[in-house]
Amino acid sequence: MPSGFHSKQRVLSRNNKNHKIRKSLKYSVLDGSAWAAMMGLTQNYITPYALNLKATNSQISLLSAIPSLLTAISQFFSPNLQEKAGNRKNLILPMVFLNALMFIPILLVPFLFDSNRVWWLLGFMTISTVAGAVVNPAWGSMMADLVPMKIRGKFFGSRGMINGLTTLVFSFIASGILTAFDQEGNFTGYVIIFCAALVFRIGSWYFLTKQYEPVQKTSKDGSPSMAALFKQVGSSSLGKFILYIILIDFCVAMSGPYFSVYMLHDLKFGYIPFTLVCSAGPVANMIFLQYWGRRADAAGNLKVVKIASILMPIVPLLWLGSTNVVYLMGANMFSGFVWAGFSLSSVNYVYDSCDPAISHKQLAVFNGMDCLAGFLGFLLGGLIVDKLPVLFGYQFRSIFVLSGLGRALVVVFLIRQLTEVRHVAAVSTWDLMKLKVNNRGHRNGRIK
């Protein structure tokens, strides 16, 4: 057989693979949009739903803590589940479908149970959350194979911007629906938004079925055990980064569940002002994802993480400044700006650091430990929130301060230990923030 024939076959095979990848990335955007619609309909309204079911502060904390704990545990089993499933999509698809179906018992809680409603909600939410989260290492590994390293910031920034806009739109739609049915003991609004969330999550599942899964690389030296990877936390470049992220997220989780309770119970916000404040963060996040993504591609993910980390302790402290709706919208917009850079670049740093052959295991360690840190943060917050002193007229403000101080301590003591894993140009923080980055990342009086 002529060598030219083999060369042509290789070119055709490569072109076919590239075509599949391009289509898969488009389907990934559609999957993300459907998922974002589900999140917009639900993420800000589980706490109000629980409050309407007469949840206490401790139960609100557990509604975040228990799913987080079991999600953490599920991550440690995820690589074995993937290996038994045969490939990544064989794990992802049934779990995402289960995640969607769990909205049915969630919306039926007020009608099926006369007592212990919050505990039933907690059980169904936990199953739904764990089913959706157990696929994260497999999904992250697949996306790391699909998205070339040099455009990850741009791709995930654009995808995140679309997701943010979708989440925002559907959050306002949910707010309008709940306002229309805002009567004591009337759960019709929640039934509508949870039904819609079910439909969109099934749509997300459909777009996942259409995505191409590249064959995962195998390690020549054999796959290390999960225990061996755990031992690297705090020592390797990836391990030090994981330790840093989980400590930040621990401090964030302490106060996380209480911003909604603070607005709804203490400040007596209705659904419209509550949604305006909650949506301000996603708006800013959506606006600045591409801004941060281009800069991360040009100057490295760690550079963006460090800038966002310096600003992060300020985020909860801003909630002490005023109870005015417009002010709190501004505070949450600042939060969205900071978290856009931190979240996007943190995930991409982990993708850059992972070995493709064992990325599902490394991501499982990262996700599992992060969820465990979240659980411990939620649990600590629930244990101490009612015992903290009143600060400037409101008890919840004390836990906001504790969260901010904790973040600051983590940043001060650990951030200098982190190192970039990509070769990137040295760019000052000032230049990175003020100059424009072109699509190719070259400098024409601009940042490389």
pLDDT at 13: 54
The per-residue pLDDT for 442 is 37
33 within 8 A of 112, measured Cβ to Cβ: no
Q: How far apart are CA 15 and CA 143, in angstroms?
A: 19
Q: What would the pLDDT profile of 246-284 be if each residue is shown by its tens digit?
A: 999 999 999 988 898 899 888 988 888 988 898 898 889
Residue 444 pLDDT: 33
Q: Please state the domain extents for the chain.
A: 3-211+225-434
pLDDT tens, residue by residue, 324-358 = 999 999 999 999 999 999 998 998 888 888 887 78
- Tokens for 188, please give them: 């019709």
Q: Give the model confidence (pLDDT) of 209-253 as tens digits.
A: 999 888 877 666 567 777 777 777 777 888 899 999 999 999 999
Q: Rounded to an integer, what distance in angstroms lies between the CA atom of residue 218 and that of residue 216? A: 7
> pLDDT exceeding 70 applies to what percent of the chain?
91
> What band does 440 get if pLDDT is binned at 50, 70 and 90?
very low
Q: Which element (helix H / strand E) includes 25? A: helix 3-42
- What's the token pair of residue 184? 């004591």
∠ Cα 182 183 186 (to 5°): 100
Residue 394, helix vs strand vs coil: strand
Q: How far is CA 24 from CA 145, 239, 413, in A?
A: 11, 31, 41
Inform me whether the pLDDT recorded for 319 exceeds 90.
yes
439 has pLDDT over 80: no
Average pLDDT over residues 412-437: 76
Dihedral (Cα; 227, 228, 234, 240), 10-degree rounding: -110
Fold of 3-211+225-434: Growth Hormone; Chain: A; (1.20.1250)
420: helix, strand or coil: coil
CA distances from 105 to 36, 59, 195, 206, 216 (A): 21, 19, 11, 22, 36
User: Each residue of 375-403: pLDDT tens digit?
Assistant: 899 889 988 988 899 888 888 899 999 99
Percent of the residues in the chain that have a pLDDT greater than 90, as a whole number = 39
CA distance linking residue 118 with residue 125, whole number of Å: 10
Q: If pLDDT is split at 50, 70 and 90, which confidence band does 206 have?
A: very high
Distance CA 164, CA 284 (A): 9
**Out of 15-19, 169-173, 286-290, 355-359, least confident range:** 15-19
Q: Is 302 helix (H, G, I), strand (E, B) or coil?
A: helix
Residue-level pLDDT at 264: 87
Coil, strand or helix at 303? helix
